[in-house]
Structure 1
């Protein structure tokens, strides 16, 4: 994770936890009220959906910064260093392009939908699209920091290995009664 941005990702972590808690509370309360008392919280579906969208996008930005997205390095780990670096540049270039597309699209939709209000909660519909904009900008900054570090000679762990790392072999002891005879 880029050191200058650690405070931002800690804030994102806190927001994700808060949004998840509020979303769970709203949905739980709505279900109990609906099935137990034939009532409900009118705005809970809209607000829960908004929280869910923000959790997804903030969580994806944090996952990129921490390097915990799924990666398959079977081929890359077997390449020579220069080929790995070329693959790194291509991959980061494509990811930056995707961030650009996401940012431009979400910015346009945020502007278009900001004046529209959700039917029950009254919140601007543009808030849904603003989550993608925040995530795109944050992910682009992380990618640029990673690119800068790589150009200075420090590739991320996935790209810097010289040989394929195999998981250690573990032996599970078998009880004497389970041994085959």
Structure 2
């Protein structure tokens, strides 16, 4: 991963932590005020919702960069290297297409909703959709970097194959008392 992207994801990590802290503080304060004093913070629900959306999208971009998304490689790991590489290219191509669709749709919604204001907080409604735009762009950058590195000869670990040091699976024989008649 290039240094500028690493720094960007460090910033994302800080923003995610700050967003979680602010969101937790707002929700906790609102609950205490509602049940303890029959009042509340009017804008906390809207701000918490926007922060939650941003945390999810930034977190998914960071997870993609770190290779932390769930992957099942049971079938692909058994393929020969060329077939794994072909599956890798198809997979990354499909993910880039999904990033394009997400960016295009979120850009449209951000532009449409930017001048609409949330009722209590006054935040632009388009700010919520902008989170998907930022995530789509950063995910696409990660995928392009991954493609570039793979074309230079290094596949990500998931696609590298079954060249691990794991022992082969063995079947434990059943005890004589457990055998079926």
TM over 0.5: yes
Q: Is the 8 A contact 1:61 1:138 kept in 2?
A: yes
Structure 1 residue ranges (4+ consecutive) displaced by more than 6 angstroms after TM superposition: none
Q: CA RMSD in A?
A: 1.7
Q: How many residues align?
A: 169
CA displacement, residues 33-90 of structure 1 (integer Å, 9 cap, x when unaligned) = 0000000000000000000000000000000000000000101111000000000000
Displacement of 1:163 after TM fit? Answer: 3.8
Displacement of 1:4 after TM fit? Answer: 3.5
Inter-partner Cα distance in structure 1 for 2:17 and 2:62: 13
SS in 1 for 2:84: helix
- Correspondence for 2:173: none
- Correspondence for 2:43: 43
Return 155-164 or 98-107, whichever deviates more: 155-164
Q: Which runs of 5+ in 1 are unaligned?
A: 170-181
Q: Is the 8 A contact 2:102 2:133 kept in 1?
A: yes
Q: Which runs of 5+ in 2 are unaligned?
A: 170-181
Inter-partner Cα distance in structure 1 for 2:78 and 2:168: 19
Displacement of 1:123 after TM fit? Answer: 0.4
Inter-partner Cα distance in structure 1 for 2:96 and 2:66: 17
Displacement of 1:162 after TM fit? Answer: 3.4
TM norm structure 2: 0.90
TM norm structure 1: 0.90
CA displacement, residues 15-41 of structure 1 (integer Å, 9 cap, x when unaligned) = 000000000000000000000000000
Inter-partner Cα distance in structure 2 for 1:167 and 1:156: 22
Inter-partner Cα distance in structure 1 for 2:165 and 2:3: 27
- Correspondence for 1:56: 56
